[in-house]
Copies of this chain bind each other. A is one copy, B any other.
Amino acid sequence: MDLDTVLNRPWSGWSKDDGPDTDVVLSSRIRLARNLEGVPFPVAMKGEHLTAVMAAAERVVESLNSGAGLGRYSLIAIKDLRQLDRAVLVEKHLMSPQHASNEKYGALILREDECVSIMVNEEDHFRIQTLSSGLQLPETLRLANVVDDAMDRVVRYAFSPQIGYLTCCPTNVGTGLRGSVMVHVPALALTGQAGSVLSAVGKLGLVVRGLYGEGSEAAGNVFQISNQVSLGQTEGDIVANLSGIARRIIDQERDARARLINGIRMQLEDRVFRAFGVMKNARIMSSAEALRLWSDIRLGICAGLIMGIPLAKLDELLVMSRPGYIQRTAGREMEPSERDITRANMIRKLLEV
């Protein structure tokens, strides 16, 4: 796999808008936390344990690459990545921000289409992540399980028959599973319902976060919704519960869109086309504004108001407008003010018909 190819393109295999319900759900994600038996968790790891983990990681890559139809995988040490390369991998949701600074022990196993990434020595020895377009958690879990099985054949997991997979943080013990969906709810935000809908989700034991993980604000009206507990429920239960809640949010968002279209169609049209006009013409644009305009334009495309821009193309903007991607594409670090100009240029080029 050519890592440059991954880092050069603003899209991923899972961001091609070929999944179901992509008008509201950008992506489905499954994460499985796995650890090696007899090796301390990364937080307690010493240099001598690294050899064991990296040897296991190499076997994993070999196993995955030899599996039929599993894709092509590469193992990359964090320390071998330039800062801007790491930033782009974070912006593409292929690894966590914390992992990007893990030069001592950190590595990443990446499938060339970016639908599978495995963080090595993040909080756990292995964090398998699978990503898909739209709402398809069972399919995404299936892919994660296939990867997990291929790994299981070549490494010995820390596993207790009583409580399941052992993980560094107790919240991940059991299935080690976290499922999450990334939803775009501009109409709920416009009609002032987003707060109540999302706080209801919180009361159901799920976690709601912004586009870039814990603590990031809900820029662009995008929210990640994830399960919090991975113990005491089967994988199927977790995924079914999360899917059901995602489906309710989809219904509520679609209702809100229909109400906007029926009630204030002209105002909505004005809003989305103004956003489109600014996006196609601005010469200076902050990432916050880009995300705000993206949200309006995406709503306009989904509502059938803006034609001729495929969702997948618009969604490239989510990565393209990030500071890391901009600087890596330019091949150098930039002041924020220069980034704002480059961002505007890149977005204009993207939207040129």
Binding site for B on A (CB under 8 A): 266-267, 269-270, 273-274, 276-284, 341, 344
CB distance from A84 to the nearest CB of B (A): 24
9 intermolecular pairs with C-beta atoms under 8 Å apart: A270-B283, A270-B284, A273-B282, A274-B278, A276-B277, A276-B281, A277-B279, A277-B280, A277-B281
Residues of B within 8 A of A266 (CB): 283-284, 341
CB distance from A276 to the nearest CB of B (A): 6
Residues of B within 8 A of A277 (CB): 276-282
Q: Is the CB of B281 within 8 A of A273?
A: yes
CB distance from A277 to the nearest CB of B (A): 3
How far, in angstroms, from A281 to B284 measured CA to CA in the complex? 19
How far, in angstroms, from A284 to B276 measured CA to CA in the complex? 14
CB distance from A282 to the nearest CB of B (A): 5
How far, in angstroms, from A203 to B113 measured CA to CA in the complex? 72
CB distance from A266 to the nearest CB of B (A): 6
Q: List 6 additional contacts besides A266-B283, A266-B341, A273-B282; criterion CB under 8 Å.
A: A266-B284, A269-B283, A270-B344, A273-B283, A276-B277, A277-B280
How far, in angstroms, from A341 to B267 measured CA to CA in the complex? 10
